[in-house]
């Protein structure tokens, strides 16, 4: 009887190992996510499935998933820790220098100057008219950023890496 149990356990060990590896990968390294809404239009149309990289370093213009109390938001990083951010007449200024904003879809509303702390980021949706972003919720903490995403899994017609 004992031998039969050991044989069955040995038989299932590869499957248990695979299951544990998948759980560890999804928990600590990468996981699929679904884009909801149109705040990132026209980069994303709101129906994509993407891969969230939980280990990547967050950099300017990265697309990130932000965890708020109410929901998860997908946004683009503009301001990095320690930087001064302002928006005047639709133009974004980082450390008092105007940046070329190639991702904006629609007009960007003004935002008074703010200097980010060492663990804060300023995020904006590409579709500025409808985006709930740092202009309304304020800067986001590093701990609120679940990871970066730049790889579309579905729809298959858009499969692949998004370029910055």
Q: Where in the sequence numbering do the catalytic residues fall?
A: 39, 75
d(CA 73, CA 66): 5
8-state DSSP, 43: T
Residue among 161, 112, 118, 124 at smallest CA distance from 142:
118
d(CA 83, CA 117): 8
Residue 81 burial class via C-beta count within 10 angstroms: exposed 0-12, middle 13-18, buried 19 and up: middle
- Segment holding 15, helix H or strand E: helix 2-28
Residue 137 burial class via C-beta count within 10 angstroms: exposed 0-12, middle 13-18, buried 19 and up: middle
What residues are paired with 74 via a beta bridge?
65
């Amino acid at each position: 009887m004992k031998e039969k149990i050991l044989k069955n356990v040995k038989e299932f060990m590869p499957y248990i190992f695979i299951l544990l590896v998948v759980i560890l990968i999804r928990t600590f390294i990468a996981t699929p996510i679904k884009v909801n809404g149109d705040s990132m239009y026209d980069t994303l149309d709101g129906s994509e499935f993407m891969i969230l990289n939980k280990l990547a370093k967050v950099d300017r213009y990265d697309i990130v998933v932000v965890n708020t109390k109410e929901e998860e938001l997908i946004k683009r990083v503009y301001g990095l820790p320690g930087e001064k951010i302002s928006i005047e007449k639709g133009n974004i200024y980082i450390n008092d220098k105007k940046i070329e904003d190639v991702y904006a879809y629609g007009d960007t509303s003004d935002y008074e100057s703010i200097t980010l702390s060492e663990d804060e980021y300023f995020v904006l949706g590409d579709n500025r008219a409808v985006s709930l972003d740092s202009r309304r919720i304020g800067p986001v903490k590093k701990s609120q950023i679940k990871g970066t995403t730049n790889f579309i899994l579905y729809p298959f017609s858009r499969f692949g890496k998004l370029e910055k």
